[in-house]
Amino acid sequence: MTDTDARPRIIFVTDAGEISNRQLEALAAVGVHGSMKRGAAALGISTPVLYKYVKETEERSGERLVKSDSRGTKLTAAGRALIARVEALRLRSEERGSIHVAGTLVSELCLLSAASALTQRGIDCRVTISTDEENLRMMDEMRVDCIILDDPLWAIERAEDIKGVEVGSDLLLLRRSGEDFAQLAFGAQRLGFRHLEQGGERFSITRRLFEPALLDRTDLSYFVNLSLVRRGILRAQGAEEQSWSIHSIVAVPCSEHHDIDEFVAQARRAWVYPKR
């Protein structure tokens, strides 16, 4: 059998039994065509057979997956979520074993160094640099194998579904210039603002920035990660270290990919500022 002959089939296993690839195809067909009859015709099966597949899928998932009215049959929110998971898994299975990792501007150097180390060992890597929010969304959609979070509050707020591994640490600098703040889209910004709130300090976030160097040009107050300053991305003149803000940089495995442990190990070696 050649690689082109082999095609992955997705099966979900629940306490009530297996949801087969064929049952998932039936559910997807209903979503695409908006009708049991048209979905069955597209799959080349009878309407009763498609109906049976859909009902079995609902029973085994424990969710109502379709809803019908005078205009046809559509997927419920649970049905759309299940098909989205199937599509994400299908796309991942077609990536021929590459590991997809993601981080932010704060963890960029660590992420790229770790990915380069894996590539040198013949491991194919895909890298995304974005915000924590976007990377978490990719995690939820099962589109990424490991993410590095620079906002420690995410690990706390999503403790039920995030099992992180510390790869290093960072801390915040604070430049004070009144109550109005610029907020950088990367780093432990929320940690800084929560500290101000808990201390009863008045402040207002009046600008959001994606380019760290713009902080050097603003007359607003701001927080920024020490690692960005040490890397020369901005100068942050007048900003002072906040010893209370030392926090972990966390790698979060998002799949069962066999190269995740090696990526995390390389990321830990690449982070140049170990926890104090």
Percent share of the chain, pLDDT over 90: 74
What is the spatial distance between Cα 236 and Cα 217, in angstroms, rounded to a whole number?
Answer: 10
Q: How many CB atoms lie within 10 A of CB 31?
A: 17
Of 16-20, 92-96, 103-107, 147-151, least confident by mean pLDDT is 92-96
Q: SS3 for 178-201, per residue?
A: CCEEEEECCCCHHHHHHHHHHCCC
Tens of pLDDT, residues 175-211: 999 999 999 999 999 999 999 999 999 999 999 999 9
**Residue (of 37, 23, 43, 26) closest to 72 by Cα position:** 37
DSSP 212: G
Phi and psi for 211 in degrees, rounded to 5? -95, 110
pLDDT above 60 for 273? no
Domain 169-247 in the same topology as domain 12-93: no
Phi and psi for 237 in degrees, rounded to 5? -65, 135
**232 Ramachandran zone, left/alpha/beta (phi>0; psi -120 to 50):** left
Return the structure tokens found at 225.
């990660």
CATH code of the domain made up of 169-247: 3.40.190
What is the spatial distance between Cα 135 and Cα 144, in angstroms, rounded to a whole number?
Answer: 8
**Residue (of 8, 14, 50) closest to 32 by Cα position:** 50
Residue 82 or residue 251, greater confidence: 251
Q: In the prediction, which pLDDT does 9 show? A: 58
What strands lie across the sheet with 180-184, from one edge to the other?
125-129, 99-103, 146-149, 240-253, 165-175, 221-225, 180-184, 204-209
Q: Taking residues 203-221, report their average pLDDT.
A: 97
Q: pLDDT category, 3, cuts 50, 70, 90?
A: very low
pLDDT above 60 for 5? no
pTM for the full model? 0.71
DSSP 121: T
Domain segments of the chain as ranges = 12-93, 99-165+249-270, 169-247
Architecture of domain 99-165+249-270: 3-Layer(aba) Sandwich (3.40)
CB 54 within 8 A of CB 82: no
Residue 115 CB contacts under 8 Å (≥ 6 apart), including other chains: 101, 125, 127, 263
**CATH class given for the domain over 12-93:** mainly alpha
What is the spatial distance between Cα 81 and Cα 160, in angstroms, rounded to a whole number?
Answer: 19
**Residue (of 108, 127, 254, 266) closest to 186 by Cα position:** 108
